[in-house]
């Protein structure tokens, strides 16, 4: 007969001490407390890092310093050069890869970086006016205006002064700053498209239409709008798209649309077939498959399957009586699983999805496992570039899946809560009820 004391309740004697459920629970509780404590300090730290990058680049643009700060300044060179070309009447020529690369060097000198231009002409309506300003001023506006709009959007959703600071201090926003890219701008347009919907109105067709400068991010909207019966939003979005198209043709000449159309095959080869920027920069299902196993047909198949399943779920949720903030959060989380071409800076979308979830239910009221899922997403985003580039781990896709699973879990919990409430209501109002 053994003289060992009986195991404590809630433990499994077959597991080592450090793996018993009570140890796991305590570890999870520790990280849970840490997450809630660290959100604000980490937000401040990442915001200060972003400010440092911005100020350093601004001093570069003013000619005061000459430090090479990596892709952040180089990416803006492409936007500025395209705006200059459009304002000079050469907008269509930027779709010629060699011409655009040479033009960047003409504008910025020998240090100009080679870039292909793949954006639809609508973006030039924003970039061309910027080139009428001094370069440092245009650069500051390119950086600060989307951030200010993003902060205002977050505050509209969560009217607490801490919310914009934490949101702008998320790793995804810092990554966008490090590239000086348009991830915040596209997220702002998506957010303001959905804001009226969350406030029990119709989605903003103007914001949805403006998203045409990155059309692959807007693929989810027609499905969601049709499922929700939002026919007027569809009609007005089509109207604003037509206005943009006509205005672009009027300002830059109709030939620019033919040049863009003729460049699509080359863009597909560069962005998808050749994965020109390197698969470690991609955060999509397609890019992750190419990162793990450089097989284009398999990557297309995985992306097609992911997109089909994601759109099916989105369709069903938008047809249901799910609360509007959760419908919006699912739409945002779905973009990352549908679009084949997504970069690190596009993960700002995950911040918007998180804000929508907190808008639905305060973070302190979340279940512990949901808070831990959000922490896992935060870590995946913070280290995704290093993990993908140096170790070939598709951490960005893992983060996108964590976000999607988190949104789906909260939606399921909400539906279960409604089911329990309905059963309780039926029980108290039935024939045998005292009421």
Beta carbons of 190 and 211 less than 8 angstroms apart = yes
Structure confidence at residue 410 (pLDDT): 96
pLDDT value at residue 208: 95
Exposed, middle or buried: residue 265 (CB in 10 Å: 0-12, 13-18, 19+)?
exposed
* Residue 429 falls inside a structural domain: no
Q: What does the alpha-carbon distance between residue 147 and residue 114 come to, in Å, rounded to a whole number?
A: 27
pLDDT of residue 426: 57
Q: How far is CA 369 from CA 257, 331, 391, in A?
A: 49, 22, 28
Q: What is the pLDDT along the chain (435 residues), one digit of tens a residue?
A: 334 344 444 444 444 444 456 777 777 787 777 777 778 888 888 898 898 889 888 888 787 877 776 667 778 889 999 999 999 999 999 999 999 999 999 988 877 887 889 999 999 999 999 999 998 899 999 999 999 999 999 999 999 999 999 999 999 999 999 888 999 999 999 999 999 999 999 999 999 999 999 999 999 999 999 999 999 999 999 999 999 999 999 999 999 999 999 999 999 999 998 887 889 999 999 999 999 988 999 999 999 999 999 999 999 999 999 999 999 999 999 999 999 999 999 999 999 999 999 999 998 889 988 998 998 899 899 999 899 999 999 999 999 999 999 999 999 999 888 776 655 555 555 544 433
Q: What is the DSSP letter of 4?
A: S
In a domain, 274, yes or no: yes
Angle subtended by helix axes 324-338 and 348-360, to nearest 10: 160
CB contact at 8 A, 135 and 79: no
Q: Is residue 268 part of a domain?
A: yes
Residue whose entry in the numeric block shows the structure tokens 């680049």:
57
The predicted structure's pLDDT at residue 178: 87
The predicted structure's pLDDT at residue 69: 66
Residue 8: count of CB within 10 angstroms of its CB: 9
* Within-domain flag for 9: no
- The whole-number pLDDT of residue 2 equals 39
Q: Give, in order, the Cα–Cα distances in Å from 205 to each of 233, 359, 389, 395.
A: 6, 22, 38, 34
How far apart are alpha carbons 198 and 194 in whole angstroms? 6
User: In sequence order, what are the beta bridge partners of 166?
Assistant: none
pLDDT at 435: 36
- Model pLDDT, residue 313: 97
* Helices and strands (DSSP H and E) totals, the chain: 18, 0
Q: Please report the pLDDT score of residue 25 as a whole number.
A: 78
Give residues with Cβ within 8 angstroms of 140, minimum separation 6.
54, 58
Q: Residue 180 phi/psi, 5° resolution?
A: 50, 50
- The answer to whether residue 315 sits within a structural domain is yes
Domains: count for the chain? 1
Q: How far is 242 from 134, CA to CA, in rounded Å?
A: 32
Q: What ranges in 201-320 are assigned the alpha helix state H?
A: 205-210, 220-227, 231-252, 255-268, 285-292, 296-319
- How far, in whole angstroms, is CA 181 from its chain's centroid? 12
CA distance 249 to 243: 10
Residue among 116, 29, 31 at smallest CA distance from 79: 116
Rounded distance between C-alpha atoms, residue 310 and residue 338, angstroms:
7
- Closest alpha carbon to 258 in 92, 21, 122, 377: 92
State residue 421's pLDDT score: 60
Q: Which pLDDT score, from 0 to 100, does residue 151 have? A: 96
Residue 358: enclosing H or E segment and its boundaries? helix 348-360
Phi-psi category of residue 188: left, alpha or beta, with phi > 0 → left and psi -120 to 50 → alpha = alpha
CA distance 105 to 91: 17
Determine how many CB atoms are found less than 10 A away from the CB of residue 378. 22
Q: What DSSP line would sit under 45-56, residue for residue?
A: HHHHHHHHHHHH
Cβ atoms < 10 Å from Cβ of 295: 12
Structural domain of 92: 31-419
Which single residue is written with the structure tokens 């348009």? 182
Residue 96 sits at φ, ψ, to 5 deg, of -90, 110
| Residue 65 in domain | yes
Buried residues in 315-348 as b, exposed as e (16+ CB within 10 A): eebbeeebbbbbbbbbbbbbbbbbbbbbbbbbbb
Q: Counting Cβ atoms within 10 Å, is residue 360 exposed (0-12), middle (13-18) or buried (19+)?
A: buried
Instruction: Tell me if 355 sits within 8 A of 406, measured CB to CB.
Output: no
Instruction: Say if CB 292 and CB 405 are below 8 A apart.
Output: no
Question: What is the three-class DSSP state of 36?
Answer: helix
- Which pLDDT score, from 0 to 100, does residue 432 have? 45
Q: And the tokens for 1?
A: 């007969």
Is residue 428 situated within a structural domain?
no
| 125 within 8 A of 250, measured Cβ to Cβ | no
What pLDDT shows up at residue 6? 44
Return all residues near 130 (Cβ < 8 A) that are at least 6 apart.
Answer: 80, 83, 138, 141, 142
pTM above 0.75, yes or no: yes
Q: Is 112 inside any structural domain?
A: yes
The token pair at 251 is 């300002």
């Amino acid at each position: 007969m053994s003289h060992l004391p009986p195991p404590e309740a809630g433990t499994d004697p077959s597991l080592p001490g450090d793996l018993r459920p009570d140890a796991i629970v305590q570890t999870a509780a520790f990280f849970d407390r840490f997450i809630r404590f660290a959100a604000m300090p980490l937000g401040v730290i990442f915001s200060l890092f972003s400010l440092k990058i911005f100020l350093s680049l601004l001093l570069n643009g003013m000619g005061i310093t000459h430090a090479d700060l990596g892709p952040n300044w180089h990416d803006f060179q492409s936007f500025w050069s395209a705006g200059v070309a459009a304002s000079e009447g050469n907008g269509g020529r930027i779709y010629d890869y060699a011409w655009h690369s040479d033009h960047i060097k003409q504008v910025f000198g020998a240090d100009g970086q080679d870039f292909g231009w793949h954006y639809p002409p609508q973006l030039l309506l924003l970039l061309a006016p910027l080139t009428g300003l001094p370069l440092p001023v245009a650069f500051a506006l390119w950086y600060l205006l989307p951030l200010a709009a993003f902060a205002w959007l977050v505050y509209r959703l969560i009217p607490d002064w801490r919310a914009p600071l934490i949101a702008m201090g998320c790793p995804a926003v810092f990554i966008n700053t490090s590239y000086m890219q348009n991830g915040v701008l596209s997220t702002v347009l998506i957010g303001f498209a959905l804001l009226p919907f969350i406030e029990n109105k119709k989605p903003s067709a103007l914001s949805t239409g403006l998203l045409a400068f990155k059309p692959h991010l807007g693929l989810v909207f027609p499905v969601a709008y049709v499922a929700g019966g939002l026919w007027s939003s569809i009609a007005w979005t089509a109207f604003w798209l037509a206005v943009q198209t006509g205005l672009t043709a009027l300002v830059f000449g109709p030939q620019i649309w033919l040049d863009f159309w003729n460049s699509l095959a080359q863009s597909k080869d560069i962005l998808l077939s050749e994965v020109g920027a390197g698969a470690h920069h991609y955060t999509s299902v397609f890019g992750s498959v190419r990162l793990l196993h450089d097989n284009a047909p398999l990557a297309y198949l995985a992306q097609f399957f992911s997109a089909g399943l994601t759109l099916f779920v989105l369709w069903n949720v938008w047809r249901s009586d799910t609360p509007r903030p959760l419908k919006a959060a699912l739409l945002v989380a779905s973009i990352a699983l549908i679009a084949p071409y997504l970069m690190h800076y596009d993960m700002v979308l995950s911040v918007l999805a998180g804000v929508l979830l907190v808008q639905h239910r305060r973070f302190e009221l979340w279940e512990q496992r949901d808070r831990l899922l959000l922490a896992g997403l935060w870590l995946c985003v913070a280290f995704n570039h290093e993990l993908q580039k140096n170790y070939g781990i598709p951490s960005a896709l893992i983060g996108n899946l964590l976000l999607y699973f988190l949104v789906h879990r909260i939606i399921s919990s909400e539906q279960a809560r409604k089911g329990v409430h309905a059963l309780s209501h039926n029980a108290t109002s039935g024939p045998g009820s005292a009421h």
